[in-house]
Amino acid sequence: MERRRTSAGETGVPEVTAGVPTVADVLAELAELEDPRIRAVNEKHGDDHGVNLTSLRALAKRLRAHHDLARALWATSDTAAQLVALLICRPKSFEYDELDAMLRQARSPKVHDWFVNYVVKKNPHAERLRLEWTADPDPVVASAGWALTSERVVRKPEGLDLPGLLDTIEAGMKEAPDRLQWAMNHTLAQIGIEHEAQRARALDIGERLEVLKDYPTPPNCTSPFAPSWITEMVSRQERA
């Protein structure tokens, strides 16, 4: 496969084959971009790939939207290839059953996160999937439902039972598995930040459950501990 030469200031990401790229072309490029040091860091977070995400995004940008190729890349089950697929697919083109199956195949945290945020949130089946996934017995699947719920709390809260959501969070977040707990905590924080009428209760739930209270937070970053998060974001809104 022909490669281009790079000069100073260029990304160094190789070109795909002229014309329509193939799965083999993309996998070959990803293999060239593989860095064992990046893989070692990613694997600590459950992501089994070693490609710098800036380079991966550059590759996807050159490929442009290519839904058939995206489907084929997803089918490889290769994490880096699936990340590229999520960047070049057409989110509104997926059917409900296809999205449900894809979520259950997305076991890498980064793939799971990008899939929900870059694809499902833009798809017309998002609300139906939110309801189905939130009630799913698989905690990883349920975490996707809660991620979509956080989005609705902020962008389209009409029709949401916010007190009911707080009831569910209060009853289940403390003992939830990590990824589900993180997603439920995000919803708790967003309810407290965006909805003044529910703020006192959201703060109270966070204080009593103490979920993520001791989470290591770098200087100048906001803690994911819901009471701290809510207080900080409301303070920023009031200063704006």
DSSP three-state, residue 138: coil
What's the pLDDT score for residue 19?
Answer: 66
User: Distance (Å, rounded) from C-alpha 110 to C-alpha 126?
Assistant: 19
pLDDT range class, residue 99, cuts 50, 70, 90: very high
Whether the predicted pLDDT of 8 surpasses 60? no
Token code pair at residue 192: 């407290």
Q: Which residue has the tokens 């070693």?
A: 50
Percent of the chain with pLDDT over 90: 89
Give Cα separations from 104 to 152, 200, 202 (angstroms): 22, 36, 31
Question: What pLDDT shows up at residue 107?
Answer: 84
> Region 165-175: what's the mean pLDDT?
98
> Can you give the pLDDT at residue 71?
97
Q: Given this model, what pLDDT does residue 1 score?
A: 34
What 3-state DSSP class applies to 34?
Answer: strand
Q: Any idea of the CA torsion for 103, 71, 82, 130, to the nearest 10 degrees?
A: -20
Give me the pLDDT at residue 20, please: 75
Name the nearest CA neighbour of 17 among 3, 34, 33.
Answer: 3
Rounded mean pLDDT, 156-178: 98
- The rounded distance, in Å, linking the Cα atoms of 117 and 103 is 12
| 56 burial level (CB within 10 Å; 0-12, 13-18, 19+) | buried
Can you tell me which residue has the tokens 């707990």?
181
Confidence at residue 14, expressed as pLDDT on a 0 to 100 scale: 36
- Answer whether 138's CB lies under 8 Å from 177's CB: no
Output the average pLDDT for the chain: 92
- If DSSP codes are grouped into helix, strand and coil, which group holds residue 99? helix
Q: Tell me the mean pLDDT in the region 13-29.
A: 74
Neighbours of 161 (CB within 10 A): 9
The rounded distance, in Å, linking the Cα atoms of 141 and 23 is: 28
What tokens appear for 31 in the block? 């293999």
Look at residue 167 in the predicted model and tell me its pLDDT.
98
| pLDDT exceeds 70 at position 114 | yes
Q: How far apart are the C-alpha atoms of 18 and 25, rounded to whole Å? A: 10
Backbone angles phi, psi at 51, to 5 degrees: -105, 130
- How far is residue 113's CA from residue 107's CA, in Å, rounded to a whole number? 10
Task: Determine the pLDDT at residue 240.
Answer: 83
Summarised one tens digit per residue, pLDDT across range 199-231 is: 999 999 999 999 999 999 999 899 999 999 999
pLDDT tens for each residue of 81-93: 999 999 999 999 9
Q: What is the rounded average pLDDT of the residues 22-51?
A: 96
Specify whether the CB–CB gap between 66 and 88 falls below 8 A.
yes
